[in-house]
Structure 1
Amino acid sequence: MFYRRQGRGEALILLHGFASSSLFWTALMERFGEQFDVIAPDWPGFGATPEAAPYTSLADYAGGVIDLADKLGLERFHVIGHSMSGFVVQTLLCDHAHRLNRAVLYGAGLGVNRARRFETIAETLLRLETEGVDATIRRIVSSWFADPIRDAKAHRLCMEAGRGMSLPAAAAAIRATEHADFEGRLGQVQTRTLIISGEAERSHPPVSAMELQKALANAHLCILPFCGHAAHLEQPEWFEMIVREFLLPHRG
């Protein structure tokens, strides 16, 4: 698995979501590299590895993270999962909690709630197949921002981060997460977890974040104002302060 790595300290693995790649985390890696050993992989079929055979299940994604940690000699690590990768982190919490220090669920939910999503899964798949990958990335990334004009630079970065996504990987990711449902599965998880949502979040609105907090025994919730699905780019100072406070060993 391709990955970017920067900094030193406790290991922190950053997992990108759909229509994205490790480039999504560029600024966060630079700043968090001062305190953490930051590792940001590209899922197979995304980013720098568009020709790679994609994962087809959440177990594949979680297993890929564990394989990468083993390859790097990481017995334990912090993890942040954005959007689709929130399901990966929940899989890690359920099946590999002994490998995790602390976890952050960012722009995530317990499952794909069709009533709250900006479009149905079937529509996303159909439009992916008929309009192509580039149009899908443009349309999805445009839904991430509370204020697209204010965040034009961040929008361009997200577009660039998405460009390596292949059509097979995009379709496989949608199908792998389509029936994700962690309701009732997280009650025994003791890993300290932070849930972050933007108040203008559309993929997994703030009510989804509240449901996640209720489902986890040891969870904290932060809803950031003036941002949507790309909070670490829309409100970087707030996002970074909250995550640092949560992850640093002398906190909480």
Structure 2
Amino acid sequence: MPALLPHRRQGRGPTLVLVHGYLGGAAQWEAEIARYSANYDVIAPDLPGFGAAADRPGCDRIEGFAQAVIDLLDQLGVDRFILLGHSMGGMIAQEMAAHNAARVIRLVLYGTGPLGAMPDRFEPIDVSRQRLLEEGVAKTAQRIGATWFCTGEDAPGFPAIRDIGAQASVQAAGAALNAMAQWDGRPALNKLTMPTLVVWGDSDRSYRWQQVESLWRNLANGELAVIPGAAHAAHLEKPKLFHLILDGFFAEITVRPAPG
């Protein structure tokens, strides 16, 4: 079994797993950990190569990230859990849920879609890869982080996202771009039968409406929440609305034993 993945854990109750995305980290979930740890056992991992796990080799497949999170949950003795994934973390969450459906109580896919190549993204992944090599991680985190907010670098949440992103290793940042470019979750959407909430900011420049709609409409048990006046980091731009949406979705949870 691999060494325990760095993570933040707080609270008691049903387990809520928060999976960050590209150039993210567990630290981006501070408000969610503070809010939900009153009623949930909140676990927020740092993915290999990012945040506090920057010393780990990054994964070049979404499946590798998904297995890393599953390994962590197995090591922590977590059987069933609520799963929330943001951006690339939403791809990871889809992969986890498709192969561990009986373990996922509810699924939240936030600022994400079913295709890692992200058609109509603010820039093609190949461009991001080239600029990463030319500019380094810190400048890449600053430039990409600004696209997460409607007001760019002037947004209150921008400094935290910039600083968290800058912790990633160059290897991990490049490998993750390759992982996204090669991932296609569409064939597995029929396996996501658990109650699923798709959350999207209407000014998101990473995932446009066509991809979000495709994800939502191809889920057997999916709901959609669109947050107005928010981009890719809606949890930082409109935290009260983001939390109200999650509160409503989580309120219906009844934890039952996994089918035998």
Taking structure 1 as the reference length, the TM-score comes to 0.95
Output the amino acid matched with 1:39: I
CA distance in structure 1 between the partners assigned to 2:46 and 2:159 by the alignment = 19
Deviation at 1:113, TM superposition (A): 4.6
> Which one of the candidate residues 211, 215, 222 is aligned to 1:212?
215
Alignment of 1:121-200 (within 5 A): 121-148=125-152, 152-200=155-203
- Give the CA deviation at 1:215: 1.2
For the residues of structure 1 that align with 2:241 and 2:6, how far apart are their CA atoms?
29
The match for 2:31 is 27
Structure 1 ranges of 4+ moved more than 4 A: none
Instruction: Tell me the matched-pair count.
Output: 250
User: 1:119 and 1:152 mapped to 2: Cα distance?
Assistant: 21
8 Å CA contact 1:49–1:164 kept in 2: the answer is: no
Distance in 2, Cα, partners of 1:162 & 1:24: 10
Q: CA deviation at 1:219?
A: 0.5
Instruction: Give the Cα–Cα distance (whole angstroms) in 2 for the partners of residues 62 and 194 of structure 1.
Output: 19
2:32 & 2:93 partners in 1: Cα distance?
19
- C-alpha displacement of 1:114: 5.0
1:97 maps onto 2:73 in alignment: no
Is the contact made by 2:61 and 2:182 (CA closer than 8 Å) also made in structure 1?
A: no
Tell me whether 47-56 or 72-81 shows the greater mean CA deviation: 47-56
Amino acid at match of 2:123: E
- Tell me the percent identity: 38
Gaps spanning 5+ residues in structure 1: where?
A: none
Taking the aligned partners of 1:154 and 1:188, their CA distance within structure 2 comes to: 35
2:37 matched to 1:37? no
Asked if residue 2 in structure 1 is aligned to residue 11 in structure 2, the reply is no
Equivalent-residue separation in structure 2 for 1:245 and 1:130 (angstroms): 44
Q: Secondary structure at the match of 1:132?
A: helix
Whole-Å Cα distance in 1 between the matches of residues 146 and 253 of structure 2? 38
| 2-structure distance, mates of 1:190, 1:73 | 24
- Distance in 1 (CA, whole Å) between partners of 2:210 and 2:160 is 28
Q: Equivalent of 1:73, from 77, 100, 103?
A: 77
The equivalent residue for 1:14 is: 18
Q: Is the counterpart of residue 118 in structure 1 residue 122 in structure 2? A: yes
Q: Aligned-pair RMSD on alpha carbons? A: 1.5
SS in 2 for 1:220: strand
What is the CA deviation profile of residues 34-90 of structure 1, one whole-angstrom value per residue up to 9, with x for unaligned ones?
A: 121111110111111222111221221111111111111111001110001111111
Which runs of no fewer than 5 residues in structure 2 stay unpaired?
A: 255-260
State the Cα distance separating 1:193 from its structure 2 match.
0.6
SS of 1:187's equivalent in the other structure is helix
C-alpha distance after superposition, 1:152-184 (max 9, x if no partner): 321111112212100000011111111221223
Q: Partners in 2 of 1:182 and 1:44 — Cα distance?
A: 21
TM-score if structure 2 supplies the norm length? 0.92
Q: Secondary structure at the match of 2:156?
A: helix
Q: Is the 8 A contact 1:83 1:108 kept in 2?
A: yes
User: Helix, strand or coil for the counterpart of 2:122?
Assistant: coil
Code of the aligned partner of 1:69: L
Which amino acid counterpart does residue 88 of structure 1 have in structure 2?
A: I
Quote the Cα distance in structure 1 between the aligned partners of 2:166 and 2:68.
21
Aligned residue type for 1:142? A
Superposition deviation, residue 188 in structure 1: 3.8
d(CA) in 1 for partners of 2:253, 2:129: 45
